[in-house]
Structures are given as structure tokens and as C-alpha cells.
Amino acid sequence: MTLRRNAEVAAQPLKLDGEELNLSRVLVNGQGTSFKMEGNQLVLDNLPDEFELEIFTTTCPAKNTKLMGLYVSNDSFFTQCEAEGFRRITYFLDRPDVMASYSVTLRANKAQYPVLLSNGNLVEQGNLEDGRHFAKWVDPHKKPSYLFALVAGQLVSREQRITSRAGKEHTLQVYVRPGDLDKTEHAMTSLMHSVAWDEARFGLPLDLERFMIVATSDFNMGAMENKGLNIFNTKYVLANQATATDTDFGNIESVVGHEYFHNWTGNRVTCRDWFQLSLKEGLTVFRDQEFSQDLCGEASARAVKRIEDVRVLRTAQFPEDAGPMAHPVRPDSYIEISNFYTVTIYEKVPRSCA
């Protein structure tokens, strides 16, 4: 990391968040430096105003049963960093208000891990010695650590080239396990509709050379909006007409849209702190509702979709508000932020104000 001290703030130690990491060494401007541990934080003192910090850590993703940070599913590597999972990958200022530029180089055995993905644009790839290969990804947009993503494994993809209204070409990809490719057509169609709709309705174009969706069966959430590399539970990607219901197809369309729309409402414009979680989620739920209604076309179909949305509010959020799990849309405090990914955060604001 390259860091610079804020001249407007009194000098204080640098405290970096970490969890279940094996720390090998810490270098400041290429030289070893003293440090101490305070609980799960790495503390560095007496630092220059500007410096390069190198931190070497090792982890064991195969034993990561929390599925937060870097973990293994079906012999492939995945990440989940929202809300505070990046600290399980390396020591960092793991807060949403810390925006940074990321350059990521992945190296792996090519036969075991032929696909190497991360955020942003693929700028370089090639072969290494001993059957290994590498891929370098650079995200041109600053982002908070919770939007970091990494995927490596045996995956296949459906690919589609599109041209934006501005005339720029982009690549859309949906990655799944071998054998599931025939179940990805609807997810790709939904992604294409999402990209076109956001640019037409709100003037928000895709701002990367490519946009990727990856599906895994082991995932704590329905999906995650990592910048340019969305990771999904297979439930919201895989579908074919032989086994999926209309509800399944509708849910995939809505969730693919929701995560793509986060590209602007949540990613490029993000939270100051986790007390603002409802701002990015509530606004993006409103956007995905409008998207699904617009795709309905006829006025009567839009009305039916709106009735379905309100029914979710009445059957899920109303009982939460009336029970022991009730909480404000913007909580005053929390012990664990993951506990606030609730229907109140997602549904109450857009559906009561739309």
C-alpha cells in the first residue's frame, strides 16, 4: 500500500484491521519495521508522512467455514468482503469511507485454476514456469475494501459483446461450474437488459471494459455487487425452462439487476459508514423495482408487479417492525453490522416512499 498522512489531523499510530491472519513480516519503504498487535489490529507508529507499506500474510481458505474473506468452494477460490471480510485477507483500513485504487496479480497452477478473476480490467496475462500462469487486474475506479473480489478455479463462461449508447464496446460474462452453462441464458439476458436500462433510464453507463457474474453454491448472501465482478449464489443465476418457475426467472432478473445497479448506487457512490447501509440498499431496491416494472411493459403488468412488491413489504417487513427484531432504518449503534441486512434495511424505504 502507498499511504500519505492527513496533514489536517494530529499524528497518531496507523491501526489496520485483521482477523485470523498469519503475519509473516511488515516493511516500510522496503525496510523492516517495528509493530505491535492490539487485539485484531496491527499497530504501526513513528511513520513518515508518505511511505510504501508491504504486509506479507498467509491464510488457509480451505478451513474458512465462515465464508467471509477468502474461502474455498468445490476446489475453487471465492471472496466475500461485505461488510467486514477484507480484514480476513490482509491487514487494512477496513472501512467503507477508505477509498483506494487496487492492482491485483493472481498466480496459480493453470490446470487446477484456469480462470483467474478480480475487479476491474484485465491488463496482462500469461504463462509462468512449472505449469503456472498469472493474470493482472487493475480497477481504474477507487473503491472501499468491502467491494474487493477474487475468483480462481475450474469455471466456464457464457460471453456476450455489447455496444453502449456512447459507442463503447464491453464484454459481459457469466461464469459457472462446468455442466451448468445451459442454465445461464436468462441471467445473461437479464444482465444485458440491466446495462441497457440503467444507461437509458438514468444515464449511467457501464464504466469498465467488462462486467462479470460468477455463481457458487456456497455463499452467505443472495449475491454481492463487487465492482465489476459480482458473485452470486447459484439460486439467482441458474435456471432453465425444464425446472425453473416463473418466480425463479423473475427473481433472477431482479437480483441480477439489483447487483448491477449497485455499480453506481453503492460502488461509485458509496457509504460513509455502515450506519448508511439503508441508503445504498434502499435506493438500489427502488431501482431494481422500477427496472422489473419497466420490463413488464403493459400498465396492467406493472400494476401486478407493484402489488407483488407491496405484498413483500406487508408479509415480511411489517411483522419485523412489529416484533422483537424491529429496528430503525438507520440504527444508532450495532455490535455486528451483518445483523442489519434485514427486510427493514432493504424494503422499508423504497416501498413506503416510492
Active site amino acids? 259
For the chain, the C-alpha Rg in angstroms (whole number) is: 21
Grid coordinates belonging to 31: 525496510
- What is the Cα–Cα distance from 145 to 83, expressed in whole angstroms? 9
Residues paired with 118 in a beta bridge: 150
> What is the separation, in whole angstroms, between the first and last Cα of the chain?
42
Which residue from 225, 209, 208 is spatially nearest to 149, judged by alpha carbons?
225
- Calculate helix-pair angle for 277-296, 299-312, nearest 10 degrees: 150
Please give the DSSP secondary-structure letter assigned to residue 87.
G
- Residue 25: helix, strand or coil by DSSP? strand
Q: How far is CA 326 from the centre of its chain?
A: 27
Grid coordinates belonging to 4: 500519505
Grid coordinates belonging to 209: 471494459
Starting at the earlier edge strand, list the strands of the sheet with 115-118: 69-73, 76-80, 150-153, 115-118
Residues 241-248: contacts with CB within 8 Å, 24+ apart? 244/186
Please report where in the chains the cell 450506519 appears, as a residue. 275
- Helical H segments across 159-237, by residue range: 185-202
Grid coordinates belonging to 321: 417492525
- What is the Cα–Cα distance from 110 to 154, expressed in whole angstroms? 10
Residues paired with 55 in a beta bridge: 26
* Residue 6: half-sphere exposure toward Cβ, Cα within 13 Å: 7
Q: Which amino acid is at 37?
A: M
